[in-house]
Structure 1
Amino acid sequence: MKRAFTFPGQGSQAVGMGKDLADAFPEARAVFEEVDEALGQNLSAIMFEGPDDVLRLTENAQPALMAASVAVVRVLASKGISLSEHAAYVAGHSLGEYSALCAAGTFSLADTARLLKTRGQAMQKAVPVGHGAMAALIGLDLEAAREVATEAGQGDVCEVANDNAPGQVVISGATPAIERALDIAKAKGAKRALLLPVSAPFHCSLMQPASEAMAQALSEVDMQAPSVPLIANVTASSLTDPDEIRQSLVRQVTGVVRWTESIEWLTGEGGVTHLAELGTGKVLSGLAKRINADATTAAIGTSADIDAFVAQLSA
């Protein structure tokens, strides 16, 4: 059995996230306290109690999701389940890549929290609210989604942002182009084409100012080689060199999240049979089953999930 740990991205956040862990485990409480201190903000109160509109702000959702994921990692470690011994690889969806790298020891927890706060603020500032949008195209393959984006562009930015799973591709760009793409996608046979409730057009060339901000921020933090290889969003291949990881994180801000290819690599060349999603929600577990129906998945985000996972490994 070969296992990879995966880490969720934006959209998985929910009010109450992490509270069960904080109530049950001192290791989880310590993670939330350290993140609060690093940010000079009571982020854990927003995670546990809301309000939802404040939690959904990009600059809050990103470090919050990371904190919840790392809390799971730390609790598992306290039970003798270390990442380096039980995972052959790590991978994370968009901001989840930072969670993965923190879990694997590339970044300290405090640095990861500050990087994600910077990333969230920079992504929000890159495009004025209302000028950018994202849409999910359901039922179209990647090539068809690219054709939709090209046809809808008409001089505006319109690009593939996330290749999440077969038949689930997200596009991103200028609002008029994304709105045009909805009708074009339906004409090309999409089952559904819908705008996403996001505040900025992530993972497209409009994010170039944010990419530059992250290049600066990443140049100023200490980075170690991860304890297990990272399967990077922009390459869908294994990385261990800190300089290459830094470059991939900068490219990731404007680049495509190649999640389908990443899971295909893990379950193919990587030899992974079991995918454990650490943190809030079950989005990645659902995507993994769509990408490879033979993969065994588990979502580990609550104290009950942790107990079940520990019991399974001990059996």
Structure 2
Amino acid sequence: MTEKRKETKMQITRNESPHQCVCHKRRSLGALSFHSHVKGHLITLGEGGRRATRDESSFRHGLVFSERPVQTREKVRLRIERSSSSWHGSLRVGFANVSPEKTSVPPLAIPDLTDCELYAATTLPDSACEPGSEIEFWIDRLGCLCTRSSDGTTSRQSTTLNIHWPTWAMIDVYGQTTAVVLLGSKKKGLIRTYTSCPALTHNTHENDDGGFRHMSKEILNSMSLQEQRNHPPKNTGLETFNCEDCVVCCSNVSDTLLSCGHRCVCGPCAIRVYDKFGTCPLCRQCIRLVQFN
């Protein structure tokens, strides 16, 4: 084992928590945070990308997006942390069918983005946006944007969003609302309610899930591409679907196995897909585990 591999293994071990987060449970939702690079220029992120604070010098330029796509009926939950009496109006929430990386961030969500049918947002009433108030919002099976606040206020409006396309949560920290915190998300199933984990640094042990490693983005980025290609494969017991060429770059061999069972991307593209989209290019399931060849 080379010194670099030893160092990487030690880094993974140090970041592992003695308590597994809910993301390690079968069919649970992935981690949820704000996108670290695509945001309004007055926004500052904190608490591992879960807190978004807008500078009070303006009521605009407070747009943030979720780091990963969210599912239909996945209820995104957040709490109002701070407000300012200097401005009027309050938080806007919604969804986008366009990846944050492909979005030119304007000053406002409404109407700057919502003029396009691939974006939808709604304004929450000031009474529902007092500090300490909690909000949850989601897209239902009919593509309607639904909201519910802790004071009992609810709303439902039709949108032009395509629920079969990847959809990112969109929050405009607007007006009197100056700081919000993501509390995670939840989705009700037939038997149980699935929840997300807001933490970004969580990993499984090497012998969990048939030898897969669940790595944070910081660890993925710290590993060289050569190290990822040399990561020894293990028998996962999954029925896999193999593509000869990477479906992303169409040049490298698809030698990387995703948690959904698809071996359809190369090592470098697996990192890019995980970082930018968080879902398999073929089936759109969340990527929770990756095995490099």
TM-based fold match above 0.5: no
Larger Rg: 2
TM class by shorter chain equals under 0.3
TM-score by length of 2: 0.27
TM-score by length of 1: 0.26
Structure whose residues are more often strand by fraction: 2
Structure whose residues are more often helix by fraction: 1
